[in-house]
């Protein structure tokens, strides 16, 4: 499987964010997207995820099911955790799995893999910032999506949690998955770096 981006451009509120962007991402490859604030890192991820329209250019997945849109081949994890405080972690992951389809791991097992098995039945409002981030990361494990689009994925994680997350990414890449991650700091799993220009 391969992600191909060709001549991509983004204009937000009448301001060009980036233009003429082209790259290819191969199975088993992780790309770190770096650049100053306002360079378009988050916009690029959201365009690939199908959450924002591109102003110009094209993007496609090669080698997948021709009937499956690119957006359904991707997990998008934004810099916000998108959790409802009243739902438990188990309820949260069960909801996401039913919404996303193509189930992979059971929600309880995913919680255990991110070190949250003991919180399964607590309201998410009781979780710390790092625990909420780990719960958001657990969504990557419950439904099959070959392309992971991650916006500042290690935000609020301590060193042990970062090591756990790196292990999840390495396993995903080893199974033929792909990762695009917007980041301000180097990521240990990234095989390539793509730098976007922009205003600080």
Other C-beta atoms lying within 10 Å of the C-beta of residue 68 = 11
Domains in the chain, number: 1
Identify whether 59 is part of a domain.
Answer: no
* CATH number of the structural domain spanning residue 88: 3.40.50.300
Distance (Å, whole) CA 141 – CA 188: 20
Identify whether 105 is part of a domain.
Answer: yes
Identify whether 63 is part of a domain.
Answer: no
Distance (Å, whole) CA 139 – CA 49: 15
Over the chain (200 residues), the average pLDDT of each successive run of 10 is 93 86 94 87 93 92 84 90 92 94 94 96 95 95 96 91 94 96 85 71
Distance (Å, whole) CA 150 – CA 142: 16
Domain that holds residue 90: 29-53+69-196
Identify whether 103 is part of a domain.
Answer: yes
Identify whether 18 is part of a domain.
Answer: no
Residues 6+ apart with CB under 8 A from 171: none
Identify whether 58 is part of a domain.
Answer: no
The CA-based angle 155-85-94, given to 5 degrees, is: 90
Q: What are phi and psi of 43, to 5 degrees?
A: -60, -40
Distance (Å, whole) CA 52 – CA 122: 34
Distance (Å, whole) CA 67 – CA 25: 20
Residue in the block written with tokens 């099959």:
144
Its pTM stands at: 0.91
Identify whether 17 is part of a domain.
Answer: no
Identify whether 20 is part of a domain.
Answer: no
**What length is written for the chain?**
200
Residues 6+ apart with CB under 8 A from 159: none
């Amino acid at each position: 499987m391969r992600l191909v981006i060709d001549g991509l451009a983004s204009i937000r509120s009448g301001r060009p964010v980036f233009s003429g962007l082209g790259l290819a991402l191969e199975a088993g490859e992780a790309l770190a997207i770096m650049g100053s604030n306002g360079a378009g890192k988050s916009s690029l991820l959201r365009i690939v995820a199908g959450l924002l329209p591109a102003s110009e250019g094209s993007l496609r997945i090669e080698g997948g099911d021709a009937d499956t849109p690119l957006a359904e081949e991707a997990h998008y994890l934004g810099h916000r955790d998108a959790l409802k405080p009243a739902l438990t972690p188990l309820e949260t992951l069960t909801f996401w799995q039913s919404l996303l389809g193509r189930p992979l791991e059971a929600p309880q097992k995913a919680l255990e893999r991110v070190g949250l098995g003991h919180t399964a039945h607590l309201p998410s409002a009781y979780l710390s910032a790092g625990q909420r981030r780990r719960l958001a990361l657990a969504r990557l494990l419950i439904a099959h999506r070959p392309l992971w689009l991650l916006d500042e994925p290690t935000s609020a994680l301590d060193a042990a949690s970062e090591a756990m997350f790196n292990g999840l990414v390495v396993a995903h890449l080893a199974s033929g998955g792909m990762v695009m991650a917007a980041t301000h700091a180097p990521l240990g799993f990234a095989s390539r770096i793509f730098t976007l220009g922009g205003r600080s």
